[in-house]
Amino acid sequence: ATPMSITVAMGKGASLGILFRNAEALENMHRIDTLVVDKTGTLTEGKPQVTCVLTAGGFAEEDVLAMAAAVEKGSEHPLASAITSEATRRGLAVEEAEKFENFPGKGVSALLNGKTCLVGSERFLRDQSIDTGDMKKEALRWQAEGKTVIWVAVDGMAAGILGIEDPIKPTTGRAIEFLRKEAIEIVMVTGDGRQSAEAVASRLGINRVIAEVLPEEKYQIVQNFKREGRFVAMAGDGINDAPALAASDVGIAMGNGTDVAIESADVTLIKGDLRGIVRAIILSRATVRNIR
């Protein structure tokens, strides 16, 4: 039978916006020694905005944005909505693309007026042997500021880069600080480029960063930590976090995230506020003390 203290703690959790799937999820919170955490939408707001554009090859900013938006119309990625919103904000005419293709963790492609248009990470362009040329320097500068840089290529040539900003949630800093003081190792895992990831990590005092990670690699990272004998929590919000959430000892989903993430998790933080992890750990400790 479920001891009374667990029922009370789970109710307390619910009133704080922390939903535990079961008693085990609550109990396990106090055992966590490693927190693997996704960046976009978990540490950050997940509401990215295009804040700068640079072009090459004679393209105008508007051309690059309109092309990127045409390709991204087929995508549900948060970066896609940043790009389509910016095109709308600037009142650009966005054409219909053909043969849309999605490359998870990398980007998207489509045919626009018979031209192949790619939108995605630098790695995505490199994989297609597209030269990133002159814009590389500016891209590095933007990334050092914590921006995500999205590349746009047309017919095998880089046409522009988009600098995208996604602010850190105001509640993240305090939560991370507490967890660090509790000697929980925090590892940021992200599909974003290394420089952007490190810029965000250093603002939060996170020392360990694994960047340019493909969706299936997040799962592998969690498995590897478990094999080291660690008790691993994973916090994430996206479809690509779901396998890692399911594999971890405690999967923690952001309530503002995708349904698949929530379904794969043991704990849901309704408001996506990372302080919920801190509160859940404190609640777990108090409950375990009562049981014993």
- Where along the sequence are the contacts to ligand ADP (CB under 6 A)? 38-40, 72, 75, 77, 79-80, 105-108, 119-121, 148, 150, 190-192, 215, 238, 240
284 binds Mg ion (CB under 5 A): no
Choose among ligand ADP, Mg ion, none what residue 198 binds, the Cβ cut-off being 5 to 8 Å by kind. none
For residue 253, the minimal CB distance to Mg ion (Å) is 11
* Dihedral sign of CA atoms 82, 87, 91, 95 in order: negative
Give the DSSP H or E segment for 289: helix 275-291
Residue with CB nearest Mg ion? 41
The yes or no reply on residue 196 touching Mg ion (CB under 5 A) is: no
> What mask, x for binding Mg ion by CB under 5 A, covers residues 230 to 249?
-------xx-----------
The least CB distance from residue 164 to ligand ADP, in Å, is: 9
Of residues 198 and 237, the one with the C-beta less far from Mg ion:
237
Q: Is 45 in the site for Mg ion (CB under 5 A)?
A: no
Which residue among 33, 38, 155, 237 is the active-site one? Answer: 38
**CA neighbours closer than 13 Å in the CB half-sphere of residue 186:** 25
Q: How many residues does this entry show for the chain?
A: 292
**Least distance to ligand ADP, CB of residue 104, Å:** 7
What secondary structure does DSSP assign to 125-183, as a single string? HHHTT---GGGHHHHHHHHHTT-EEEEEEETTEEEEEEEEE-PBPTTHHHHHHHHHHTT
The tokens for 54 are 């640079």
**46 torsion bin: left (phi>0), alpha (psi -120 to 50), beta (else):** left
Name which of 152 and 280 has its Cβ closer to ligand ADP: 152
- Please tell me the distance from the alpha carbon of residue 43 to that of residue 201, in angstroms, as a whole number: 9
**CB of 38 or CB of 198, closer to Mg ion:** 38
Q: How far apart are CA 289 and CA 197, in angstroms?
A: 38
How far apart are alpha carbons 136 and 121 in whole angstroms?
Answer: 12
241 has catalytic annotation = no
Residue from 38, 45, 86, 198 touching Mg ion (CB under 5 A): that is 38
- Report d(CA 275, CA 38) in Å as an integer: 15
Could you list the active site residues? 38
- Contact residues for Mg ion (CB under 5 A)? 38, 40-41, 237-238
